[in-house]
Amino acid sequence: ENKHVGTVEDIYETLIVNKFDRNDMLLALGGGVTGDITGFAAATYLRGIDFVQVPTTLLSQVDSSIGGKTGVDFKAYKNMVGAFYMPKLVYMNLSTLNSLPEREYLEGMGEIIKHGLIRDKEYFYWLKENKDKIISRDYETVKKMIFVSCNIKRVVVENDPKEKGERAVLNFGHTIGHAVEKAKNFSLLHGECVAIGMAAATYISLKKGNIAEEEYNEINNVISDFKLPVYTTGILASDVVKATKNDKKMDSGVIKFITLEENGHAIIDRTISEELLLEATETVIRG
């Protein structure tokens, strides 16, 4: 409810009244919403001042704080206003994770599992094997997990900082995930919606003949093992597909959909039909 232009306007006013100039900086202490808003304000105030990310949630530590994407929602449209603007520093203190309720901690696993699926099959299986330690927040295990996850995102972003090509693979699970998030009126957490979106995208990968049914079931089981949903209820699949048309990942009217070429390697696919998109969406919306 705070990730909108009005919040950024309040920050601008505070900075102006307190005479912040180009030598000043902003510090984003909090989760992904805090980081996105702060980064966008920093990118646009006086045409750009420094900012530092101090992410305090698992989701923001492995995802939004890395890569320089900043932005806010516009009305009901997610992340439609923003800028690519790198922080001067990202500092993570893992003790902050102990302050999170389990649901908010584990939503970060949506993005972490995604990293394994799109670029590192061995990491995916390491997550599977270390499930209990990760869920119990074992410090050394979590530290290793965050390091590997951030490194995967770092490599992808450095290869394509402005999302002209390869960086789009980081959107695996997000096209349907964002649409579900909106259709559910943000009652589900972002990582939970990404998990549902990954389940649908994995189904499309199965139907395209890229992965076997055994792998499809395994991926869904791993998502579920981390207490994340692979389906939801109370909305219409047709509404979700319609919402994907407003997604910022559209390219000349065609969705750049991310599928798995195999477990551990994602690709950009512009050939997904609306029929297959609806069929996949119906597998994750029940009742």
The residues assigned a catalytic role are: 47, 69, 111, 153, 163, 167, 171, 174, 178, 190
Query: Residue 65: what residue type?
Result: S
Amino acid present at 41: A
Closest CA to 258 of 184, 192, 166, 178: 166
> How many beta carbons lie within 10 A of that of residue 262, not counting itself?
14
Give the count of alpha carbons within 13 A of 259, CB side only: 21
Q: Rounded CA gap, 263 and 111, in Å? A: 15
Q: What is the DSSP string of 156-180?
A: HHHH-TT-SSGGGGGGTTHHHHHHH
Distance (Å) of CA 141 to CA 73, 123, 258: 34, 12, 29
